[in-house]
A and B are shown apart, each in its own frame.
Chain A
Amino acid sequence: KAGVTQTPRYLIKTRGQQVTLSCSPISGHRSVSWYQQTPGQGLQFLFEYFSETQRNKGNFPGRFSGRQFSNSRSEMNVSTLELGDSALYLCASSLASGPEYEQFFGPGTRLTVL
């Protein structure tokens, strides 16, 4: 079974631009979560989608948004990029929503904002 795939793997943008990251979950998984990983702040939860609905949201500004499609694929968007948005963005999928379901992580998208 194919794992979680994230595209692109690497991205370089400049301040003020916007960016869209994509995540394809494991086949049959209906929950997708997004995390931001930085050296300073560590791993922080961004949001979770289940059956096209946002179930949970972390403490990030409104510039960070996401959505999930009917095939469970998910995208996250960051508008008006800031230098501090440089990070590894990880996507994780699970069969359903809830801590009893193991989250499988993708390799991440490394975003650099110049």
Chain B
Amino acid sequence: AQSVTQLGSHVSVSEGALVLLRCNYSSSVPPYLFWYVQYPNQGLQLLLKYTSAATLVKGINGFEAEFKKSETSFHLTKPSAHMSDAAEYFCAVSSMDSSYKLIFGSGTRLLVRP
């Protein structure tokens, strides 16, 4: 069965510091991988997705993620955090294994300190 593990329910960084949110997945077949962001009282917004093309995926708002098959990871990074990045971030996986249903991780809340 597919699953997604997000390490760290809360991550705190200073404004201008590197953002690193970790995501590991399990899938017996090639996966599609996604990162979503959720601001308070809003739905989810897609940041970026991996669909077996380039392993380094660039998304919106300066975020990027690298697919590492050997490590079954898809960590999200941003070189310099901005106050507006404070939100909850969800990693998700989809594949034929799950009939292409989105399986979400438990989420990581990013706090940005001034």
Contacts and interface: CB of A to CB of B under 8 A. Distances in A.
Contact of B104 (A42, A56, A107): A42
A103 B100 contact: no
A109 to B, nearest CB: 11
A112 to B, nearest CB: 14
Nearest to A9: B41
Interface residues of A, number: 23
Nearest to B102: A45
A73 B57 CA distance: 32
Contacts of A33: 102
B53 to A, nearest CB: 11
B46 A43 contact: no
Contact of B99 (A56, A105, A107, A108): A56
Contact of B51 (A97, A100, A106): A100
A56 B101 CA distance: 7
A54 to B, nearest CB: 12
A90 interface: yes
Interface in A1-37: 4, 33, 35
A102 B46 contact: yes
A105 B45 contact: yes
A106 B102 CA distance: 16
A46 B90 CA distance: 17
B44 interface: yes
Contact of A56 (B32, B41, B100, B105): B100
Interface of B: 32, 36, 41-46, 49, 51, 90, 92, 94-95, 99-107
Given A42-B106, A102-B46, A103-B102, 19 more contacts: A35-B102, A42-B107, A43-B44, A43-B92, A43-B107, A45-B102, A56-B101, A58-B101, A90-B43, A92-B43, A99-B49, A99-B51, A99-B94, A99-B95, A99-B100, A100-B51, A105-B36, A105-B44, A107-B41
Interface of A: 4, 33, 35, 42-45, 48, 56, 58, 90, 92, 97-100, 102-108
